[in-house]
Amino acid sequence: MHDAPAPDEYSWPVCGAPRCGRQLWVSETDRLVCRPCEDTTSRRLTELPTLFRQLNTTAALMRGASRIGSGSSGTKTPPIPPRLEVLSLVGPGGAATRLQAIEDSWRIALGWGIEARSDGQRVFASWRTDPARAIPAHAKFLFNNLPWAVERYDSIGQDIEALRELHGECTAIVNDERKPGRVQIGLCPARIDDTLCGAQLTATTASHRVRCGTCGTRWETLGEWRQLRVAQEAVAAEETERQREGVAA
């Protein structure tokens, strides 16, 4: 049984950023977040407007969309962008709204009140924004007030994590860090109790391993890949021969 810590036992303060948690330096003990985490967050805020401009383009929205051929119905309307993850960031409720939520909470904590959204003539509801104009403004506000937040704002750790996630999502899409797709590589030539499996095999460029989802047979090394191809060719030859015999009969 462990003794309970003494009531006056001192615990050295640690960084409030969720993915950090390191002990603060002596010069940082009046802060909630360490300087490296503040510097990283500042950099992310500086990069977000540029990342958003790269996302908010037809090329980013339509990357991976099928082209409209000359034999189409004649409509000039492009197909719905397949990259819904891009739309979720550049559209309503996306990156601009996520930054606005952090800015609004900081304004309230500072006693400044929430800034009205307007185009100079009309005042809009809080959820209606012009992301292309809003992103740079929100990022600038957060960048300018980050020194205050890392020292005085109790929820700064959550906001730093939210900014990390948003920056990561934008960066991954801009750099096209999508998981490689799978392609079909033929039928499984394995035999179970003298019965051909025949399930469709798939492979991905991210791994050299192939596993049949039906019978569980694996091919992992280069030699086994060659064996797989030889076995598939043998099965194909047998099937061709059976078809010929059927026609001859």
> What sign results for the dihedral spanned by CA atoms 117, 120, 124, 130?
negative
Based on the fold, state whether residues 157 and 205 are members of the same structural domain.
Answer: no
- 21 lies in a domain? no
CA distances from 8 to 70, 137, 208 (A): 79, 46, 58
Which residue(s) pair with 14 in the sheet?
23
- 235 lies in a domain? yes
Residue with tokens 């959550």: 158
pLDDT at 205: 58
Residue with tokens 């959820």: 127
Q: Which of 117, 140, 174 is the last residue of a domain?
A: 174
> What sign results for the dihedral spanned by CA atoms 71, 73, 77, 79?
negative
pLDDT at 59: 58
Based on the fold, state whether residues 169 and 233 are members of the same structural domain.
Answer: no
Based on the fold, state whether residues 186 and 232 are members of the same structural domain.
Answer: yes
pLDDT at 192: 82
Based on the fold, state whether residues 209 and 150 are members of the same structural domain.
Answer: no
Copy the structure tokens of residue 6: 């003494």
Which residue(s) pair with 108 in the sheet?
none
Question: Are 106 and 149 a contacting pair, CB within 8 Å?
Answer: yes
Q: Which of 151, 174, 197 is the last residue of a domain?
A: 174
- 3 lies in a domain? no
Based on the fold, state whether residues 170 and 197 are members of the same structural domain.
Answer: no
- 75 lies in a domain? no
Q: Which of 174, 200, 220 is the last residue of a domain?
A: 174
Residue with tokens 């051909």: 196
Name the amino acid, one letter, at 123: V
- 73 lies in a domain? no
Based on the fold, state whether residues 203 and 146 are members of the same structural domain.
Answer: no
The overall pTM is greater than 0.75: no
pLDDT at 225: 80
DSSP-assigned letters across all residues of 152-205: H-TTHHHHHHHHHHHHHHHHHHHTT-PPPPEEEEEE---EETTEE--PEEEEET
Based on the fold, state whether residues 216 and 159 are members of the same structural domain.
Answer: no
pLDDT at 159: 97
- 233 lies in a domain? yes
CA 57-60-66 angle, to 5 degrees, is 120
Based on the fold, state whether residues 143 and 233 are members of the same structural domain.
Answer: no
Question: Are 15 and 24 a contacting pair, CB within 8 Å?
Answer: yes
pLDDT at 26: 86
The tens-digit pLDDT sequence of the chain (249 residues) is 445 555 567 688 899 999 898 888 888 888 999 999 999 999 999 999 999 998 887 556 655 544 434 344 444 444 444 467 787 888 777 899 899 999 999 999 999 988 777 666 766 655 566 788 889 999 999 999 999 999 999 999 999 999 999 999 999 888 875 555 667 788 899 988 888 898 888 877 566 678 888 888 988 877 788 888 888 888 888 888 777 776 665
> What sign results for the dihedral spanned by CA atoms 203, 207, 213, 216?
positive
Based on the fold, state whether residues 113 and 151 are members of the same structural domain.
Answer: yes
Based on the fold, state whether residues 46 and 153 are members of the same structural domain.
Answer: yes
Expressed as residue numbers, the domain containing 240 is: 182-248
Based on the fold, state whether residues 36 and 106 are members of the same structural domain.
Answer: yes
Q: Count how many domains the chain has.
A: 2
Give the E-state strand segments of the chain in sequence order: 117-118, 123-124, 182-187, 191-192, 195-196, 200-204, 210-211, 218-219
CA 115-119-123 angle, to 5 degrees, is 55
Based on the fold, state whether residues 150 and 38 are members of the same structural domain.
Answer: yes
- 200 lies in a domain? yes
- 110 lies in a domain? yes
pLDDT at 150: 95
